[in-house]
Amino acid sequence: MTMMTGEQYIESLRKLNTRVYMFGEKIENWVDHPMIRPSINCVAMTYELAHKPEYADLMTATSHITGETVNRFTNIHQNTEDLKKKVKMQRLLGQKTASCFQRCVGMDALNAEYSTTYEIDEKYGTNYHENFKKYLIMMQKEDLVADGAMTDPKGDRSRAPHGQDDADLFLRIVERREDGIVVRGAKCHQTGSINSHWHLVMPTISMGPDDKDYAISFACPSDADGIYMIYGRQSCDTRKLEDDSDIDVGNSRFGGQEALVVFDDVFVPNEYIFMNGEYDFAGMLVERFAGFHRQSYGGCKVGVGDVVIGAAALAAEYNGVEKASAVKDKLIEMTHLNETLYSCGLACSTEGYKTASGGYFIDLLLANVCKQNITRFPYEIVRLAEDLAGGMMVTLPAQKDFHSDLKVGKNGETIGDVCNKYFVGNGKCSTEDRARVMRLLENLCLGTAAVGYRTESMHGAGSPQAQRIMIQRQGNIEGKKELAKDIARITK
């Protein structure tokens, strides 16, 4: 079983016939497109680090099925150590890319499917778990990326899937055949979908008897007949298309990616079906995927947060104010918030437990507490980073101005000369380095890398209210009332 290198991963994408559209046009060479390539570089890092001896313990695992060494992104967690190493791996990758490395959704979907299919089979005598294990072995053996596809467009959210005016607003079965099913609909906001070899599709909400055609889960190749993707925009994304703009981009090597994935009557063979109308298990699959993914944010967002804190400290240093007590206090607060998030990710992992399938699940209450904090703390970290950087991070002239040789001054000064003179910092760093750190902060703080830190911290893995609902369900208020009664000696 051979794990791919980053370059081999990139080359494997070229072999796919993935259909990608952007700006109203089909993108023929999407692998090398300047707006898409940074997100591919991010995924490639999950492969590259797996080959470095110093990271092998975090980046790889032993398959419990084959006994072979696999990339941890294809691993089924076998104990709480696996759960903790997952979080530590995600922090490492966040530090190395300062963005979303996109492979977490597939890892979390694999683990949610593993335990859920086992329990469906226990109740109904189906063969989904064996189907899934064969699929998992293939993903491990070939070291492939799966896009965990859960989020439906949903339409009118006050209505169930079967009650929508347009039946396609939730992915559904439109035909059941002897050899498989035909599905129609879409999955939106799909992280890393274009960069994935396979799509692992799940229902998006709990369902009732009238929603059987929507209670489906399956895997299919990303370039299957009938699948196409429309690339999602990010703030300032066209800077990547400009010449001489690597500074202006902020993070020119890495980036996130989202897309609308359309299933236009896609055929799925029986061997890749993992749920087919068992509506009573839709909620379990959603809950388990969401729990794993909310745990993930205690790693990836913390790693990116480390970069935000480092960039803010550099900005303060370049501004010549790094010794001010107020600056030190802000950096302390940013660090405190970031490490609190990490603590939550480790806590829900440490309290994990074995499911009936043998795979391990996190503590669901603590995972939701983790993600609830993620919807808040990164915003405060960003606010403090912007405070330390100053207004320069949003008012700098373009990189081309710093490099311009157009003469404008009375003494022959060029636009470049003027920009480099008046945007100088403490004199110990170059004006270019000061501009680079300011643009990096802009990228991280103001949404130019939305699929990596700020906005995704709010909506990724479910909006804040979704976590509050789960916290209410898992919080055991009745049990806490009994504790209070016992202490107060209330017998009623």
Per-residue pLDDT of 421-434, as tens digits, reads 999 999 899 999 99
Catalytic, out of 258, 278, 317, 386: 258
23: left (phi over 0), alpha (psi -120 to 50) or beta: left
Q: Is the pLDDT of residue 448 over 70?
A: no
In a domain, 353, yes or no: yes
Nearest Cα to Cα of residue 217 among 134, 162, 282, 154:
282
User: Based on the domain organization, do 293 and 265 belong to the same domain?
Assistant: no
175's enclosing H/E stretch is strand 172-177
Gap between the terminal Cα atoms of the chain: 63
In a domain, 488, yes or no: no
Tell me which residue range forms the domain holding 128.
Answer: 6-282
- For the segment 165-198, what is each residue's pLDDT rounded down to a tens digit? 999 999 999 999 999 999 999 999 999 999 999 9
Q: Is 175 annotated in the active site?
A: no
Q: Count the Cβ atoms, other than its own, within 10 Å of residue 220.
A: 22
CA separation (Å) from 71 to 111, 119, 136, 291? 14, 26, 12, 21
- For the segment 189-240, what is each residue's pLDDT rounded down to a tens digit? 999 999 999 999 999 999 999 999 999 999 999 999 999 999 999 888 999 9
Q: What is the pLDDT of residue 265?
A: 98
User: Based on the domain organization, do 184 and 43 belong to the same domain?
Assistant: yes
Q: Is 344 annotated in the active site?
A: no
Q: Are 348 and 367 in contact (CB under 8 A)?
A: yes
Catalytic, out of 113, 317, 386, 456: 456
Tell me which of 282, 301, 319 is where a domain ends: 282
Instruction: Render the burial of 82-118: b for 16+ CB within 10 Å, e for the rest.
Output: bbbbbbbbbbbbbbbbbbbbbbbbbbbbbbbbbbbbb
User: Based on the domain organization, do 338 and 430 belong to the same domain?
Assistant: yes
In a domain, 439, yes or no: yes
Q: What is the pLDDT of residue 1?
A: 59
- For the segment 245-269, what is each residue's pLDDT rounded down to a tens digit? 999 999 999 999 999 999 999 999 9
Q: How confident is the model at residue 41 (pLDDT cuts 50, 70, 90)?
A: very high
DSSP 55-90: GHHHHEEE-TTT--EEEGGGPPP-SHHHHHHHHHHH
User: Based on the domain organization, do 264 and 294 belong to the same domain?
Assistant: no
Q: Is 258 annotated in the active site?
A: yes
Number of folded domains in the chain?
Answer: 2
User: Based on the domain organization, do 179 and 122 belong to the same domain?
Assistant: yes
- For the segment 71-86, what is each residue's pLDDT rounded down to a tens digit? 999 999 999 999 999 9
Look up the CATH number of the domain holding residue 394.
1.20.140.10
Catalytic, out of 60, 80, 151, 191: 191
Look up the CATH number of the domain holding residue 173.
2.40.110.10
- For the segment 4-36, what is each residue's pLDDT rounded down to a tens digit? 999 999 999 999 999 999 999 999 999 999 999
User: Based on the domain organization, do 384 and 277 belong to the same domain?
Assistant: no
Q: Is 100 annotated in the active site?
A: yes
Q: Is 293 annotated in the active site?
A: yes
User: Based on the domain organization, do 246 and 381 belong to the same domain?
Assistant: no
423's enclosing H/E stretch is none
Cα separation, 188 vs 159, whole angstroms:
18
Q: What is the pLDDT of residue 297?
A: 96
- 257 in helix, strand or coil? coil
User: Based on the domain organization, do 271 and 291 belong to the same domain?
Assistant: no
- pTM of the predicted structure, to 2 decimals: 0.96
Q: Is 77 annotated in the active site?
A: no
Q: Is 370 annotated in the active site?
A: no
User: Based on the domain organization, do 320 and 362 belong to the same domain?
Assistant: yes
Catalytic, out of 293, 348, 386, 448: 293
Catalytic, out of 18, 80, 100, 151: 100
In a domain, 490, yes or no: no
Report percent pLDDT > 70 for the chain: 99
Tell me which of 265, 282, 299 is where a domain ends: 282
In a domain, 491, yes or no: no
Q: Is 42 annotated in the active site?
A: no
Catalytic, out of 104, 348, 370, 419: 104
Q: Tokens 């169930």, residue? A: 160
In a domain, 271, yes or no: yes
Least confident of 337-346, 360-369, 452-461: 452-461
User: Based on the domain organization, do 108 and 228 belong to the same domain?
Assistant: yes
User: Based on the domain organization, do 258 and 345 belong to the same domain?
Assistant: no
Average pLDDT, the chain: 96
User: Based on the domain organization, do 84 and 218 belong to the same domain?
Assistant: yes
Tell me which of 241, 264, 282 is where a domain ends: 282
In a domain, 187, yes or no: yes
Cα separation, 364 vs 353, whole angstroms:
10
Catalytic, out of 300, 344, 370, 445: 300
